[in-house]
Amino acid sequence: MDSLNDPAPKTHRGRWLLPLALFIATLGLIAVTSKDYGITWDEPAYFEAADLHIEWLHAFARNLVAGKESRSLDDGAITTAWHGNPYYVPHPPFSRLVSGLSKALLAQWLGDFSAYRIGPALFFAVLVAAMFVWLRELFGTAAGIFSALALLLIPNLFGYAHLAVTDLPLAALWFLTVYCFWKGLFNWKWSVVLGVVWGLALATKFPALLIPIPLILWAHFFHRDKYANNLFALIFVAPVIMVAVQPYLWHQTGLRVLEFLYEGLSRAYRPDANFMIYFFHRLYFTAQLPWYYSLFMIGVTTPEPLLLLALLGMACIALRKVQRAALLLLLSNAAFILALGWMPGAVLHDGVRQMLSVLPFIAALAGAGFHFLLEYLLASLRRYSAAAPTRWLPAKIAGILILLFSFSPLLDVYLCHPFQLSFYNRLVGGVRGAHARGLEMTYFMEALTPDFLRELNDKLPRGATVNGSIANFMLAFYQKSGALRPDLQVTASQTPDYYVLLNRRSVLGPRERALLDAPIRPFLGVELAGVPLVSVFALKPPASRAAWRIEPRGERLSAAPSGQDLPTASGPFAGSLFSAKPHWQAKTK
């Protein structure tokens, strides 16, 4: 075994064996668990856009062979395939292109939805491997292993690794850009890689445009004589990659780049893109949030052991002159991402989704804290132990520390699966405490799991009318894809047989909130730690029925006693309860 403090194994094979193993294991884990999650709010539109991208590539290849490439390169054909639905698909296409390619290659084995989701799984697997490589270079093998595991043990990162949206790819590319910038200080070849990676980040989501700000400020303080190659790559290589990956920018390039900038900068000022946030029983727009919102949300949705180690890593900045520059690079990026919420034009709806890019840097700082703790313990043992330390003592102590600091986060990820996006830590009393304190429980519709849909198919009578409120469009999508029975009538009717209510309190009307809080037992539901994420209420129930709940790990709880009728909606909850038109329209965020 290599020394725990060695920057890297001495052989080429040893150098890449562990990163490759972490990449394959991560990819396999996400692929195996991808079917556990419901389709999220944005994914239907992204799936369709990804298919259009791949169809255009196929058509371009055919036309290129036939000498008719101008047909595919026509601005109308490009706009249809790459910018045909800008409201619901407002972001650049790189992450969708990866998802579309994975679907085209793997759908026959994995099914369409899981094949799309191999795209973010690939980004996550690359992130895990890169985290290990960089932290091994900085602090040794043990810190690299722990930091890579920390990524898997942060519930929101693990959850988003399964979802074919832009947030996890951006988080991965942000971290990779910072790593390449660090490497480019010492090798010009890495500067070229930096330009490519940042260009791909720009082709993924607008916030990537801001990545160079903390990098250049940091470099000017610590390596002002070494970052010229990096600056050249950022200015001249990245824009070429950004345009090359986006055919929509091949025509009227300047104007459409300005359009990209406008779309990103104007979101907080447009009512169709700025959404309400439920925070301590109150509703806010982003500009109205308390200044500490970003820090608070990251603090209460990240496992406490990782937070503790990250704080230790930050505290050691003052004590560690050799690693100070690297630690400040990690910290400055984390702080910059959190500070983006204070800037004009920022939006912070959907829990930590808009701040997801900060989590890899917290994992890296936790790895640094792990290294300093391990180093301190080993030094203490050598100082106070009369017996000479054995060769394997560092590995044993490292293993014990990894188990100690990983056990609680691992248990959290396991117990809340597949609802990691609803996770809250013990600083607010866990999921139950967060719900009681007035924090948002669920928002992205991943709680409409395949297990839940199977229960709907099994329990609802034939021809039943179902009002899904804000989820009507998603229920219709499930019907179209064959996951929901076709005889069920998805409707916005005032008097449906069943009402499906997602516990997203930022968009619920007063009557819907009253229904959730009323002493009425749902006909069917999805719960996490006893907190409802999805509830199905029978407004016109049969004479007798059983109530079922689905909890994490797919366990179905026992039905009500045979023959016992359950409470039904009555009084203010019966009859004309809901408006004929959902008050919240399905919108991509």
DSSP state of 520: -
Check residue 519 and give its pLDDT: 85
Check residue 13 and give its pLDDT: 67
- pLDDT classification of 382: cutoffs 50, 70, 90: confident
Beta-strand pair 498-502/465-467: parallel
Residue 91, in any domain of the structure? yes
Side-chain-side CA neighbours of 4 within 13 Å: the count stands at: 22
Q: State the residue for tokens 């791909």.
A: 200
Residue 435, in any domain of the structure? no
Beta-strand pair 531-538/548-551: unpaired
| Residue 527 zone, left/alpha/beta (φ > 0; ψ -120 to 50; rest) | beta
- pLDDT classification of 485: cutoffs 50, 70, 90: very high
Mean pLDDT, the chain, whole residue set: 89
The reply to whether 359 and 466 lie within a common domain is no
More confident residue, 360 or 551: 360
Task: Tell me if 505 sits within 8 A of 281, measured CB to CB.
Answer: no
Check residue 513 and give its pLDDT: 87
pLDDT tens digit sequence for 385-420 = 655 566 788 899 999 999 999 999 999 999 999 999
CA pair distance 50, 99, nearest whole angstrom: 7
Cα-to-chain-centroid distance, residue 300:
16
Domain endpoint, select from 355, 379, 403: 379
Q: Mean pLDDT over residues 167-179, rounded?
A: 98
- 3-class secondary-structure state, position 246: coil
Check residue 269 and give its pLDDT: 85
More confident residue, 555 or 445: 445
The reply to whether 318 and 236 lie within a common domain is yes
Indicate if the pLDDT at residue 466 is higher than 80: yes
| Exposure string for 436-466, b = 16+ CB within 10 A, e = fewer | eeebbbbbbbbbbbbbbbebbeebbeeebbb
- pLDDT classification of 528: cutoffs 50, 70, 90: very high
- pLDDT classification of 72: cutoffs 50, 70, 90: very high
Check residue 9 and give its pLDDT: 63
**Measuring CA to CA, which residue among 233, 117, 122, 114 is closest to residue 172?**
122
- 3-class secondary-structure state, position 582: coil
507 phi, psi to nearest 5 deg: -125, 0
The reply to whether 339 and 474 lie within a common domain is no
pLDDT tens digit sequence for 154-163 = 999 999 999 9
pTM: 0.91
Q: Mean pLDDT over residues 226-246, rounded?
A: 97
- pLDDT classification of 8: cutoffs 50, 70, 90: low
| Percent of the chain residues topping a pLDDT of 90 | 79
Check residue 542 and give its pLDDT: 57
The reply to whether 361 and 461 lie within a common domain is no
CA angle 19, 22, 28 (to 5 degrees): 140
* DSSP secondary structure of 82-119: HSS-TTT--S-SHHHHHHHHHHHHHHHHH-HHHHHHHH
Total structural domains in the chain?
A: 2
Structure tokens at 135: 């932290």
CA pair distance 83, 93, nearest whole angstrom: 9
CA pair distance 318, 300, nearest whole angstrom: 26
Check residue 389 and give its pLDDT: 60
Please state the three-class secondary structure of 16-46 as a single string.
HHHHHHHHHHHHHHHHHHHHHCCCCCCHHHH
Domain endpoint, select from 349, 379, 409: 379
Structure tokens at 562: 């045979």
Q: Please list the alpha-helical segments (H only) found in 416-491.
A: 430-437, 450-459, 472-481
User: Residue 48: in which H helix or E strand, if any?
Assistant: helix 43-65
CA pair distance 353, 351, nearest whole angstrom: 6
Residue 183, in any domain of the structure? yes
CA pair distance 167, 127, nearest whole angstrom: 13
- 3-class secondary-structure state, position 154: coil
Structure tokens at 177: 């850009």
Residue 368, in any domain of the structure? yes
Check residue 271 and give its pLDDT: 80
- 3-class secondary-structure state, position 531: strand
Q: How far is CA 95 from CA 103, 203, 347, in A?
A: 12, 8, 21
pLDDT tens digit sequence for 548-582 = 445 565 443 333 333 333 334 433 334 333 333 33
Count of residues in the chain: 589
**Measuring CA to CA, which residue among 494, 497, 504 is closest to residue 526?**
504
Residue 6, in any domain of the structure? no
Task: Tell me if 550 sits within 8 A of 455, measured CB to CB.
Answer: yes
* DSSP secondary structure of 190-210: HHHHHHHHHHHHHTT-GGGGG
**Measuring CA to CA, which residue among 315, 413, 409 is closest to residue 371?**
315
Residue 393, in any domain of the structure? no
Q: State the residue for tokens 């899981």.
A: 114
Q: How far is CA 450 from CA 107, 141, 483, 497, in A?
A: 18, 39, 8, 22
Check residue 556 and give its pLDDT: 39
Q: What is the domain extent for residue 257?
A: 12-379
CA pair distance 285, 199, nearest whole angstrom: 31
Check residue 143 and give its pLDDT: 97
Task: Tell me if 564 sits within 8 A of 556, measured CB to CB.
Answer: no
Least confident of 289-293, 325-329, 365-369, 510-514: 510-514
pLDDT tens digit sequence for 299-322 = 999 999 999 999 999 999 988 888
The reply to whether 65 and 162 lie within a common domain is yes
pLDDT tens digit sequence for 102-141 = 999 999 999 999 999 999 999 999 999 999 999 999 999 9
Residue 308, in any domain of the structure? yes
Check residue 577 and give its pLDDT: 39
Residue 460, in any domain of the structure? yes
